[in-house]
Amino acid sequence: MPIVTFGGVQIECELGANLRRVLMKAKLPLYHPLARFTHCRGMGTCGTCAVKLRGSASWPTKLEALRLRLPPHTAEAGLRLACQCSVHGDLDVEKFGGVWGQHLDSPVRVLDPRARARTPKVPPRQPHQPAIAATPATPFRSSRSVIRSLQSAAGSSSASPRRHRAAMSEHARVNQARLLQLARDRQLAMHS
C-alpha cells in the first residue's frame, strides 16, 4: 500500500485512491480556512486544492492543466490539483499558503503530527441487524402502486396504467375517509 506524506504525517492508502479523499479522510489541512466551505468538492474547477507532489501519481487531466494555467496559478509552478490526482505509489505532498495554495514561499505545516494516526481507524463491519426482529419484512411499493391498489379496492379503475398525472388525478378521486379506512385495514393486515 502506498504511503502519502503530508507535513510529516504519513497515511497509508489504497493504490489508485484519490489524493483529495485520502487527505480529507485523514483530516489534514488541504484547504485554506476561507476555502474550506467554498471549494468545488473535487470537481477540479476552483483550484484551491493545489499541491506540489514528489512521487508517483497519475498524469494531469486536461481539466487540471487548464485550471492550473488560470490565475492565480501559473503553469510553471509545477502544482497539481489533489482532487484530480490518483496515488500510484509513495507520495510527498506539500501545500502552500494562500487561498488557492499559490504562495510557493510559505509551505503549510501540520501543527502536531503525533496527534494523527498513521492509518485512520475503521471500525469492523457489523452484520446488519434489524431494529425490530418481530416485524415481518415487506417489499417496497411505490406510491403509484399503492394508489392503484387502493383505487381497485375502492371500486374505481383506471383505463391505462401509464397516464399523465393531470389525467390520473381525475381517476384518483376516491372518498378520503374510504382511503384512510383502506390504509388502516392494510396496516392491520400487515401487522397481524
Residues 31 and 76 in one domain: yes
Measured CA to CA, the distance from residue 108 to residue 31 in angstroms comes to: 10
Residues 92 and 26 in one domain: yes
Residues 172 and 109 in one domain: no
DSSP single-letter state for residue 17: -
Residues 6+ apart with CB under 8 A from 82: 19, 20, 23, 30, 49, 50, 51, 93
Within a domain: 103? yes
Within a domain: 17? yes
Residues 108 and 147 in one domain: no
Question: pLDDT at position 180, please?
Answer: 75
* pLDDT tens by residue, 7-19: 889 999 999 999 9
Question: pLDDT at position 114, please?
Answer: 42
Residues 23 and 73 in one domain: yes
Residues 97 and 169 in one domain: no
Within a domain: 33? yes
Which residue range forms the structural domain that includes residue 46? 3-115
Which grid coordinates belong to 40?
468545488
Residue 156, CA distances (Å) to 46, 145, 146, 167 in order: 56, 14, 14, 14
Residues 78 and 165 in one domain: no
Residues 111 and 148 in one domain: no
Question: pLDDT at position 23, please?
Answer: 94
Number of domains observed in the structure of the chain: 2
Within a domain: 125? no
pLDDT of 42 strictly over 70: yes
Structure confidence at residue 40 as a pLDDT band (50, 70, 90): very high
Asked whether 50 and 101 are in contact (CB, 8 A), the reply is yes
* pLDDT tens by residue, 141-169: 556 666 677 677 666 555 555 554 544 45
Within a domain: 122? no
**Is the entire prediction scored with pTM above 0.75?**
no
Residues 12 and 101 in one domain: yes
Question: pLDDT at position 55, please?
Answer: 93
Residues 11 and 101 in one domain: yes
* pLDDT tens by residue, 121-138: 556 656 655 544 444 555
* pLDDT tens by residue, 102-118: 888 778 777 644 444 44
Residues 147 and 80 in one domain: no
Residues 10 and 62 in one domain: yes
Average of pLDDT values for 180-189? 82
pLDDT of 50 strictly over 90: yes
